[in-house]
Structure 1
C-alpha cells in the first residue's frame, strides 16, 4: 500500500511550481492595467504568498539537501525563480513600492548568472517548452529594470534593461533550435512558453519604447522589435490554441501553470504596447485575452484541487 500524500503541500515543491507565481503575478499586472484593482490585489497577495513559500523551500533545500538542490538547479525550470521574482517586483513597482521592487531586482539579478550557466551547460537537443525559460528569465530582468528606470529616472537602469532585452532575444533563438516541435501536439503545458517568451520580450520592448531615453532611430528600432515580437507571439498563440483544440489534454499537470503564464503575458504585452506603439486596438485585444487567461487560471486551480482531493482519498 502506498503512503498517503504529504499534507504539507508546501514542502518539496518542484522548480516548475514557480510558474504558478509567474502566472498569478502577471494576471495581477494585467488586471491592474485594466482597472480591476481589487482583483489585481487579490492575485498579488496569492502570488506573493506562494513566492514566499517557494523561497522558503528553496532556502531549505540549499541549506539541508544540497544534492537535490544541485540536481534541480541544472534544469531549465529552476529559472522560474528568477522570472517569478521579476514578475512580483514589476507588480510591486506599480504599487509604488520601489524599494521592494529594487530589492527583488537585485535578488533576481544575483540568481540569474549561476542558474543560467548551470542550465545552459545541461542543454540538449529536442527539449520541451522549458527551454525558453532562458529567454523568459532574462526578459523578466529587462522588464523590471525598465519599470524601475522609468519610476526613478535612472538612465543606467534603462541601458541595463536594453542589454537584457537584446540578450533575451538571442537566447530565444538559441532555445528555438532546441525546441521539439512535437511538443505542440503532445506537450503537458510548458510548450506554451514558446509563445510566452516572445510575449514577455514584447512587454520588455514596450517598456523600453515608452522610455524617453531613446529617440529617433533608436526609438523606431525598439518599436519595430516590440511589434515583431508581439506579432510572432500572437501567431504562436493561435497555433498552440488550435493544437489544444485538436489534441486536448485533460489531465492536470503542474506544467499547466506554464500555460497560464503565457496566456496572461500575451494579454499584458498587448495592453502595455498599445500606447507606446501607437496602436490603440491592442488594448481591447488585450482585455479579451486577459479574461481568457483568468479563465484558464481558474480551471487550472480547480484541476489541481480535484487532483489533490483524489490523491487524498486513494488508499
Structure 2
C-alpha cells in the first residue's frame, strides 16, 4: 500500500480589501469594552452620573458590535480563528471576552440595577472562562511546536488572571444583591476565583519577570499589554475589597477577614510598585529608543489598568476605612479618562482610513 501523501499546509487567508480588517481582527479587541466599562464604573463611584451613563450605553453598543464581528470572523475565517486560539502570543487575547462580559455584568448590576441582565452576562462570562481556560492552556501543553520563552510569553498572558478576577468581582456584586440559598455559594465562588487568580499571577509573573531580566529586550517587545502586570493586581485588589464588604453576610468570609485584608493590601502594593517601573520602561521605549507611537488595539490593555487602579483604590479605601487615599483614585481616574479618549480617537481615525481605502465599484 503506497504511503499517504503528507497533509498540505493551510492556505493563507485570502481576504478582499473590504473585509481584510475582519480577517485580521485582534483577539484582544474586547479590551475596548473592558476599558470603557471600568472608566464608567469609576465615574459612577465618584458621582459623575451623566458621563457614567453615557459610557454605559456606549459600552453596550461596543459589546454587541464586537460579538457580531467575532462571530463573523469565526464563520468566515475558521482556520485563522482556530490558529489564533492556540497561538502563544495571540491566544491569551481571547480572555478579554471573559473580562469584558464580567465588567459589563458589573455595570448592569451597579449602574442599570438590572439583575436579570447582570446574571445573564455573568453566566456567559463563567461559560467563556471554562471554555477558554481549558482549551487554550491544554492546547499550549500538548502542541508539538512551541516557541522559546522570550518569543512566546508577554504581559497578555496575565489576561487570564484578569478574566478570573473579573468573575470574582461580578460574583461578589451578584452575591450582595440576592438572598439565600445562593448568596453563600456565590461568595465562596468569588473567594475561590480570587485565590486562584492570585496563584495564577504568581506563576505567570515569575516567567514574565524572568523574561524581563535574562533575555534581550527590544522596544518592540514592550507591547502595551505589559501594563496588565499592574492591571491584574488592581482587579485582584478590587475583588478583595468587595469580599471584605461582603464579609458581614458570609460567616466564612468573616473568619478569613484578616487574611483577605492582608492579601488585598499585598495586591494593591504590588500593583502600585509596577506603575513607576512601567513609566520608566515606556520612556525608554518611546523617548530614548524613539519607538513610534501609533494606535494599536492592544493599547486598550494599557487603558484598562489605569481605570482599574482608580476603581480598586477607591473601593479598598472604603473597605479598609483608611480615608486618606480618596484623592489618589480621582487623579488616576482622570489619567485613565484621558488615555481612553486618546485611544478612542485613534481607533476612529483607523476606522475612517480603513473605510476610505475600500474600493469603489
TM-score, normalising length: structure 1: 0.91
Counterparts in 2 of 1:178 and 1:7: CA distance versus 1, 3 Å: same
1:128 equivalent in alignment to 2:163: no
Asked whether 1:282 is paired with 2:325, we answer yes
Q: Measure, in 1, the Cα distance between the counterparts of 2:357 and 2:115.
A: 47
With over 3 angstroms needed to count, the CA separation of the structure-2 counterparts of 1:39 and 1:185, relative to structure 1, is same
The Cα shift of 1:279 comes to 1.5
Residues 149-298 of structure 1 aligned to structure 2 (within 5 Å)? 149-153=175-179, 154-179=183-208, 180-181=211-212, 182=217, 186-211=221-246, 212=248, 213=250, 214=252, 217-248=255-286, 249=291, 250-298=293-341
Assess, with a 3 A threshold, how the Cα gap between structure 1 residues 225 and 147 changes in structure 2: closer, same or farther: same
Which protein is bigger by CA-based radius of gyration? 2
CA deviations on 1:257-300 (whole Å, 9 max, x unpaired) are 10001111111101111111121222211011000000001111
Unaligned runs of 5+ in 2: 1-14, 142-146
Corresponding pairs, count: 313
Q: Distance in 2 between matches of 1:114 and 1:183?
A: 34
Report SS of the residue matched to 1:17: coil
Structure 1 contact 147–207 (Cα < 8 Å) conserved: yes
**TM-score, reference length from structure 2:** 0.80
Deviates more, 1:10-19 or 1:237-246: 10-19
1:81 maps to 97
The aligned runs of 1:103-118 (5 Å cut-off) are 103-118=120-135
- Aligned mates of 2:105, 2:99 — CA distance in 1: 10
Q: Does the C-alpha gap of structure 1 residues 96 and 159 become closer, same or farther in structure 2, counting only changes over 3 Å?
A: same
2 CA distance for matches of 1:307 and 1:61? 19
**Could you report, residue by residue, the CA deviation over 1:33-63 in whole angstroms, capped at 9, with x for unpaired residues?**
0001111111111211111111122333444
Post-superposition Cα deviations, 1:197-247, rounded to whole Å, max 9, x if no partner, equal 010100110100111225655111111111110111011112112222333
Q: Any stretches of 5+ residues in structure 1 without a counterpart?
A: none
Q: Distance in 2 between matches of 1:171 and 1:254?
A: 25
